[in-house]
Amino acid sequence: MDQQQRQEIYETARQWIYEAGAQIRGHMNEPLDIETKSNPNDLVTVLDKQTEKFFVDRIHHRYPEHHIIGEEGFGDTLSQVDGTIWIIDPIDGTMNFVHQKRTFAISIGILHNGVGEIGFIYDVMDDTLYHAKRGEGAFKNDSQLAPLDKEKKIKEAIVGMNHFWLCDNKVVDYTVMQKFVRTVRGTRTIGSAALELAHVAEGVQDAYLALSLAPWDVAGGIIINAEVGGIAGDVDGNPWNPLKRSAAVVANPSIHNYIIEFLKEGRK
Ligand code: 2AM
Ligand code: CA
Ligand code: CA
Ligand code: CA
């Protein structure tokens, strides 16, 4: 993908994101028709589905040769990363959306032949757009984000994670995680993986750890983090795979390796 193509797709996607965000804000106080998915706390609403369909319809019309991976199933089932792929989470943080009416995001990552080209995370209620193009830096609205602090110490790090790390889980022994949370300065739970990644890129939080995420939870955020030096991969330090669900560690470059080594001690 050359710079001109990237710019054209970026501008189009950005316009669609603002449009979709306005639609969500306009309809969010109507009855939401809430359903559950994998478990009683895994929620989906009519607006998750409508928003994904909004993007899929527009992409099909304007870029018929592009592929789509979307959470709500309106996209394609892909087994390889050739060509241009839009990875879309129409509403990331659906539980926040339903219960709190804020702190949720539209998250989109656009890849070409497996390389992250364009990333967006749009905090819908805050009207804040995090965005990046490969090689051109990352931005929060109109302000460019600074490269991440290369001197960050783990003792001074704020880490995004949820309490499931401290309960019995399939990934890491929770007693090791209890030691980990006492090692860092503090922990935070936002409830939107995409916004956690945006905060890592912004440098207001130094890492984000998740036990199980899908490609659409992280695609936009990983592309944005790449522009400021944030490192993303699975808990074993392997690079991100855009076709696979996995645990995820996204962090400031000076503490990423420390975290991976720490988790190794309790890895199951
Ligand atoms: P979602 O709101 O798009 O489903 C919540 O802690 C964060 O984890 C959200 O970003 C949520 O995305 C994501 N998540 C990933 N898999 C999930 C699942 N099975 N159930 C609930 N949240 C999930
Ligand atoms: Ca969901
Ligand atoms: Ca999500
Ligand atoms: Ca979602």
Phi, psi of 172 (to 5 degrees): -140, 140
Give nearest CA residue, ligand 1 atom 23.
42
Please state the domain extents for the chain: 3-144, 154-264
Residues 95-141 pLDDT 10s:
999 999 999 999 999 999 999 999 999 999 999 999 999 999 999 99
Ligand nearest to the Cα of 97, by number = 1
* 213 pocket-lining for ligand 1 (C-beta < 6 Å): yes
Residues with CB in 5 Å of ion ligand 4: 71, 89, 91-92
Identify the architecture of domain 3-144 in CATH: 2-Layer Sandwich (3.30)
Cite the active site residues.
71, 89, 91-92, 94, 217
Task: Give kind and range of the element (H or E) at residue 44.
Answer: strand 43-44
Is residue 201 within 8 A of residue 224, CB to CB? The reply is yes
Ligand 1 near 52 CB (within 6 A):
no
pLDDT of residue 98: 96
pLDDT, one tens digit per residue, over 14-64 is 999 999 999 999 999 998 899 999 999 999 999 999 999 999 999 999 999
| Residue 183 confidence (pLDDT) | 98
Query: How do 43-44 and 35-36 pair as beta strands?
Result: antiparallel
Q: Is 164 exposed, middle or buried (0-12, 13-18, 19+ CB in 10 A)?
A: middle
Ligand 1 atom nearest 89 alpha carbon: 3
Which among 107, 170, 192, 246 is the best mutation to test ligand 1's pocket, defined by most ligand atoms within 8 Å of the CB? 192
* Confidence band of 235 (pLDDT split at 50, 70, 90): very high
CA 210 to ligand 1: nearest atom: 8
Which single residue is written with the structure tokens 């090689």? 135
Going by alpha carbons, the residue nearest to atom 18 of ligand 1 is: 42
For residues 53 and 43, the answer to whether their CB atoms sit within 8 Å is: no
User: Which of ligand 1's atoms lies nearest the C-alpha of 104?
Assistant: 2
Whole-number Å distance, alpha carbon 212 to ligand 1 midpoint, is 9
Quote the pLDDT of residue 268. 94
The full 3-state SS of 64-100, as one line of letters, equals: CCCEEEECCCCCCCCCCCCCEEEEEEEEECHHHHHHC
Distance 38 CA to ligand 4 centre (A): 13
Q: Determine if ligand 1 sits within 6 Å of the CB of residue 40.
A: no
The closest-lying atom of ligand 1 relative to the alpha carbon of residue 189 is: 6
Q: How far is the CA of 46 from the centre of ligand 4 (A)?
A: 12
CATH topology of domain 154-264: D-Maltodextrin-Binding Protein; domain 2 (3.40.190)
**Banded pLDDT at 93 (limits 50, 70, 90):** very high
Confidence of residue 193 (pLDDT cuts 50, 70, 90): very high
89 Cβ closer than 6 Å to some ligand 1 atom: yes
